[in-house]
Amino acid sequence: MLDATGAAPPASQSTDRFALSAHQRMLEAEAVHVLRETAAVFRRPALLYSIGKDSSVLLHLARKAFYPEAIPFKVVHVDTTWKFREMIAFRDAQACALGLDLVVHTNHEGLAAGISPFSHGAGLYTHAMKTVALRQILDRLGADAAIGGARRDEEKSRAKERMFSVRAPGHRWDPKMQRPEPWGLANTRLLEGETMRVFPLSNWTEHDVWAYVRAEAIPVVPLYFARERPVVRRGDSLIMVDDARLPLAPGETPQPMRVRFRTLGCYPLTAAVVSEAATLDAVIDELRSSRRSERAGRLIDGERADSIEAKKAEGYF
């Protein structure tokens, strides 16, 4: 929530924090405030961890918010089984290093039904393995609030999302049901069966996230940095061949290219960008001169103009 006093926190005396700008300190304090509100008013919140840069920032902020206490929520990862291998390795290393109470969930019915990005199309696959899987695990945990790293600058329909976003029974999002949040003051009360989605990074931009990752030295998955990787070209997209499950067309052979990812998801549905940016500084510089939006690499978003809105209505994050 935006600081209701309107003032950006002034530079404090502690040396570590000079690295953050006034704007970054404001964003950090706001996210910490939202995380603490969530811990204070909900019975069983869960933090959705997608392993991406936003999730990494979110975890870091949660550690800061409750220090010296441990993060008082379960950390949930919805594993579609199609994530990049490096993501899974990173996830497990982080869980160990930070002592996270990690819950990994896969929609096994979907898996048993043989649903994959290739057999059923990206739309149905995403619905079954991400949206339905998320609903399953939130229900199983009895989570009344799910914290996610979504940002308003990602996409147009997200620009109207609340910090505290009510979901009807069945995790459905109704844009007309959303509660006003004047002064960042949230009505967090729920009726039976309703749940809350909480977005502490609402006011962050992609640039803010990277600048914060650099300032706070937050570990991120190496896939964000350029390296030679085996890719195939599919239309306008470069798809990394992360394992042998990616069906190759006759005559199609993976080519080594220096690429990186701006956003991470399921590898067959996440396009790489050609890049030389192998360091954090280089990534931030590249971001400033890029003329493509962050989610352009998400193949599932582009299907319809209101595609994210439609998926959110069904319970997608």
Partner 1 sequence: MRIIDACATSAAPIKEHGLLRVLACGAVDDGKSTLLGRLMADAGLVPEDQMAAVAGAGGEDGFDYALLLDGLAAEREQGITIDVAYRYFATARRSFIVVDAPGHEQFTRNMATGASICDAAVLLVDARKGLLPQTRRHAVIAGLMGIRDVILAVNKMDLVGHDENVFRAIVASFRPHADSLGLDVRSVPLSAALGENIVHPAAAMPWHAGPTLLDLLETLALAPRRTGSLRFPVQRVSRSDPDFRGYQGTVAGGRVRRGDPVVALPGGQPSRIRQIVTFAGELEEAGPGEAVTLVLDREIEAGRGTVFACPDNPPACVNHVVVRLVWLSEMPLGTGRELLMRQGTDLVPCRITALRSRLDVVRMAENPATTLGANDIGTAVLETGRPVVVERYGDNRTLGSLLLIDRLNNETLAAGMVVEAVNAAANVYWQRFDTTTADRPSAGRQTPAILWLTGPSGAGKSTVANALERRLTAAGCHAYVLDGDNMRHGLNRDLGFSPPERAENVRRLAEVAHILADAGLIAIVAAIAPYAQDRANARAIAKDVPFYEIFVDTPLDVCASRDPKGLYRRARQGLVSDFTGVGAPYERPQAPDLRLDGTAETPQQEAGRIVDLLAARGHVPAA
Residues 53-112 that bind partner 1 (CB under 8 A): 63-70
Q: How far apart are CA 11 and CA 22, in angstroms?
A: 7
> Which residue from 97, 112, 180, 253 is in contact with partner 1, where contact means CB under 8 A?
180
Q: What tokens were used for 155?
A: 């996409």
- Single out the residue of 108, 32, 104 nearest to residue 74, CA to CA: 104
Give residues 201-240 in contact with partner 1 (rule: CB under 8 A). 202-203, 205-207
Please answer whether residues 110 and 137 qualify as being in contact, where contact means their C-beta atoms are separated by less than 8 angstroms: no
Q: What tokens were used for 233?
A: 């070209």
Residue 91 vs 298, nearer CB to partner 1: 298
Least Cβ distance, residue 244 to partner 1 (angstroms): 31
Q: Contact region for partner 1 (CB under 8 A) — 94-102, 141-149, 154-162, 226-234?
A: 154-162
> Which residue from 123, 184, 222, 254 is in contact with partner 1, where contact means CB under 8 A?
184
Give residues 6-25 in contact with partner 1 (rule: CB under 8 A). 6-10, 12-14, 16-17, 21-23, 25
Residue 96 vs 185, nearer CB to partner 1: 185
Local structure of 136: helix, strand or coil: helix
Residue 196 vs 240, nearer CB to partner 1: 196
> Which residue from 159, 227, 274, 276 is in contact with partner 1, where contact means CB under 8 A?
159
DSSP string, 260-313: E-SS-SBGGGBEEEE----SHHHHHHHHHH--S-GGGGBTTGGGSTTHHHHHHH
Neighbours of 249 (CB within 10 A): 8
> Which residue from 85, 108, 156, 233 is in contact with partner 1, where contact means CB under 8 A?
156
Q: How far apart are CA 42 and CA 83, in angstroms?
A: 30
Q: Is 178 in the site for partner 1 (CB under 8 A)?
A: yes
